[in-house]
Amino acid sequence: MTTVFTIREEPNGLWIVDRDGMPLIKHDSAAAAISDGRELARMIHGHSGAPVIVALQIPDTTILLARYAKPAPALKLVAA
């Protein structure tokens, strides 16, 4: 299952980082919210290996900021 972190601006001007719809962090700036959203995603992906997406939600569209996918299985090289 993919975890989704969304960064969005509230009507009061604060920027929210939420995880699957649950608010986690509030910031005064979009840059700080994006930075924290990406850091949380890296930590979750690094700990679980599960896919994680970070998206910026703005009026009329959503912008993909980061995608941390499940690591590919290691390849075994065979000598010829």
Q: Rounded to an integer, what distance in angstroms lies between the CA atom of residue 14 and that of residue 73?
A: 41
Residue 76, domain member (yes or no): no
Residue 78 included in any domain: no
9-67 per-position pLDDT tens digit:
999 999 999 997 899 999 999 999 999 999 999 999 988 888 999 999 998 999 999 99
Tally of domains within the chain: 1
Pick the residue with more confidence: 16 or 1?
16
pLDDT on residue 1:
82
E strand or H helix that includes residue 5: strand 3-9
Q: Does some domain include residue 64?
A: yes
Full domain range(s) for residue 17: 3-68
Burial class (CB in 10 A: 0-12, 13-18, 19+), 33: buried
Is 59 domain-assigned? yes
